[in-house]
Amino acid sequence: MRPEDPVARHFRLTPIQQRALLRLGVSTIAGLLRHVPARYETAGAPVRVSALAPGANVTLFGTLRDLKAKKLWKSRRNVTEGWFEDASGKVKVMWFNQPYIASYIADGSAVKMTGTVGGNAERPYIANPEVEHLPPGSVAEGLFEPQSSKPEARSSVFPVYPESRGITSRWFFHALGRVFESGAHGRLEDPVPADVRARYNLPDLSRALLAAHRPKTEREAEAARKRFAFEEIFSIQVARARERAENDVQKSFPVKNGDELARRFLDSVALRPTGAQERAIADILGDFKKPHPMARLLEGDVGSGKTLVAAATAYAVVNSRPPGGESGTLQAAYMAPTEILAGQHFQSFIEYFSHLPIRIALITGSGCKKFPSKTRNYAERTRKYAEQVTSISRSQLLKWVENGEIAMLVGTHALIQKSVKFRHLAYAIVDEQHRFGTRQRCALSQKGEATPHFLSMTATPIPRTLALTVYGDLDLSILDELPPGRARITTTLVKPGEREEAYEAVREEVQKGRQAYVICPRIEEPDPSKLNALQAKSAKAEAKRLAKDVFPEFDIGLLHGAMKPKEKDAVMSRFAAGGIHILVATSVVEVGINVPNATVILIEGAERFGLAQLHQLRGRVQRSSHPPRCFLLPETAGKAAMQRLRALEKSNDGFKLAEVDLEARGAGDLYGRRQWGMSDLGMEALKNTKLIRAARLEAKRLVKEDPSLSRHPALARRAARIGSELHEE
């Protein structure tokens, strides 16, 4: 076998098994070797056949004989039967629905077998045991007798692999046994350089694979897992360090007098910046002075004032002149993930810049708008902002953007269409950065003749270790203060018998002229015929129930991800205008919805959401000075789920909650491994600050010494693959 060989070349796979392997990301022998166990089970103490007792978990050393696969006519299940024997006797062994077992184990093979004894004292048997091949002759020579003092005899750690429908952990165990016999694990190139392994006492790839899949002790298995966790984080950091190195050799437009211009803007608005906002603005203005484009992530909790930071720094840019004495000003672009959010930010920038000579425009799939209504009319400052906004044709807007007449363009994905061309794009801002793929963000950054300064913003609290890993190519600024005047939210965990109290709180708020959200985990009712369907409240059914039985006196609206964009916009416009009292929605409102009049939120099935997501959802009612309230209504009362929800009840700190979520929910559950493109091992490693710091340090050092990775071809291929995957987000 060779590492690059397809798995199907060496193993008989049914169509179901082939699909299962693809779902698990396993297509080659190398991929099979890197399918690391999810956990390890400890086998029972080694015993002889003569000492078997029903119900005991045991480990046996001996030989397997007479394995035969057949079908049980009553149940139509496949069963493979045979006999295990040692010097003291023999016992029947059987495997259900695993016909491949007979082809994996030759008659008379020396094995180590682990399982639970069934039957009774007179007729014991062992069903579905785990089997590990031993060297030929080792049992006969007594090397693996229970009394042996050799390390091999004491090995009782058995790997349990991630499964998918159609492929079992046991299949992986036996398939990998054949791979190790072929020596394919020794032919893989190690992406972690030898000097890095030496500094951190890491095993080489071949030894680590053996230790991960065939550990003699739990300690050996754990050491292998740490090595693979380091390798993944290190490879991601290398990919990101290379991207940052490429960014830092690009040219950008210089922004002159940025400090003075930003201060002029801040002095012109009623809001006073917090200390955190002042620091973030200073970070960005400092980046503007560097000879290369900025690459920065602005992470701010709900209501922390990221838009003010964006406005102050954008003002500094659009009031700066292009180099070489060209006419006009530098331009800024602001990209939001939804039309609703883009429209809200367009309105926010109008309010920020209404008394300043800045031309702003909006471009979305639905149309284009411009402010002010007359190209050079800055005198009528008493008119309402809405009266000064006019709809314009897309062709006219594109012409104005290309010749530099529009200083700031706000929009959705429409911003990155090929037809949108800027004259002097110097600053690109992306809001809710994780909602866009890397390819889309790069497309915006490549819209000008020079590389624009790039600011990513997110209100999703991200653990620092995750931010430093996934966004390793970006500098980090954090807004960890709320502007004065924002009311603190009260979060209440509602017991099953207290639901009416939550409804009464909603009724009181609506009667005061305010509005409410009710969040449900799913859109439609679950299909009762599907056993594994998510049994959770649906937005559609709950909207009908609330309108009929609970709040018949109020207007109930419905919003979910399956609606068409125009339908969503219509619902949100009605809600924003006060035409809907209670909006029943899915998590589609998690970010980008700004309705200050909404002051209470009920979250059904709260245990089904992550803490970070719950924190984002309750942020929808933290938009004004009115005291906001959040009610969590779990459907189940599991101990772990209740602990997480109580943490939300006690804390309003999104960053602290993100760390709690990472620690409590574990690998892959924080935001979902697919969103970040990391394996479970990589997600688990995020709890290890020292590992993240070491991987980041080594990646920066290596890329500085060998930017092209010419001396590290295996690492270059791994980093390139990661970079490609990140750009396919």
Ordered DSSP codes for 360-414: EEEEETTEEEEESSSTT----TTS-GGGG-EEE-HHHHHHHHHTT--SEEEESGG
Whether cis (ω within 30° of 0) applies to the bond prior to 372 is: yes
Phi-psi region of 478 (alpha: psi -120 to 50; beta: other; left: phi over 0): beta
Q: Which helix (H) or strand (E) holds 691?
A: helix 689-705
Q: Comparing 258-479 with 490-651, is the CATH topology the same?
A: yes
Number of separate helices (H) and strands (E) present in the chain = 25, 23
pLDDT of residue 379: 45
- Rounded to 10 deg, the angle between the 258-268 and 306-318 helix axes is 130
pLDDT of residue 154: 43
CATH class (in words) of the domain with range 258-479:
alpha beta
pLDDT of residue 434: 55
**How far is it, in rounded angstroms, from Cα 142 to Cα 153?**
10
pLDDT of residue 398: 94
Which residue is it, tokens 């653990």? 463
Neighbouring C-beta atoms of residue 126, cutoff 10 Å: 22
Amino acid at 197: R
Strand pairing class (109-119; 130-133): antiparallel
Beta pairing partners, 160: 39
**How far is it, in rounded angstroms, from Cα 174 to Cα 180?**
10
Beta pairing partners, 391: 369
pLDDT of residue 420: 92
**How far is it, in rounded angstroms, from Cα 655 to Cα 460?**
9
Strand pairing class (331-335; 425-431): parallel
Q: Which long-range contacts (CB under 8 A, 24 or more apart) does 436-439 make?
A: 436/335, 436/337, 436/729, 437/727, 437/728, 437/729, 438/726, 438/727, 438/728, 438/729, 439/727, 439/728, 439/729
**What residue ranges do the domains of the chain occupy?**
258-479, 490-651
CB 26 within 8 A of CB 35: yes
- Rounded to 10 deg, the angle between the 169-182 and 205-213 helix axes is 140
Nearest to 422 by CA among 450, 452, 402, 446: 402
Say what the pTM is. 0.75
**Tokens encoding 105:** 């184990």
**Alpha helix (H) residue ranges in 150-204:** 151-154, 169-182, 194-199
From the options 3.40.30.10, 2.170.120.20, 3.20.20.330, 3.40.50.300, give the CATH code of 490-651.
3.40.50.300
Q: What order of strands is seen across the sheet that includes strand 490-493?
A: 490-493, 629-633, 598-604, 515-519, 582-585, 556-559
pLDDT of residue 636: 77
pLDDT of residue 384: 56
Neighbouring C-beta atoms of residue 567, cutoff 10 Å: 13
CB 625 within 8 A of CB 483: no
Amino acid at 187: R
Mean per-residue pLDDT pooled into runs of 10, the chain (729 residues): 93 91 93 91 74 85 86 72 89 83 80 86 87 66 45 61 85 91 94 95 94 91 93 93 90 90 91 93 96 91 87 94 80 88 88 83 91 54 61 93 93 89 92 62 70 88 78 87 79 88 94 95 66 64 94 95 84 90 89 83 89 84 85 82 84 78 53 55 82 93 94 92 65
**Concatenated DSSP letters of 410-454:** EESGGGGSTT---SSEEEEEEESGGGS-HHHHHHHHTSSSSPPEE
Strand pairing class (367-371; 360-364): antiparallel
* CA distance to 60, 67, 83, 149, 153, per residue, from 88 (Å): 11, 20, 13, 20, 17
Nearest to 113 by CA among 147, 154, 62, 157: 62
Nearest to 613 by CA among 557, 654, 556, 647: 654
**How far is it, in rounded angstroms, from Cα 324 to Cα 450?**
14
Burial of 211 (0-12, 13-18, 19+ CB in 10 A): buried
Three-state secondary-structure class, residue 670 = coil
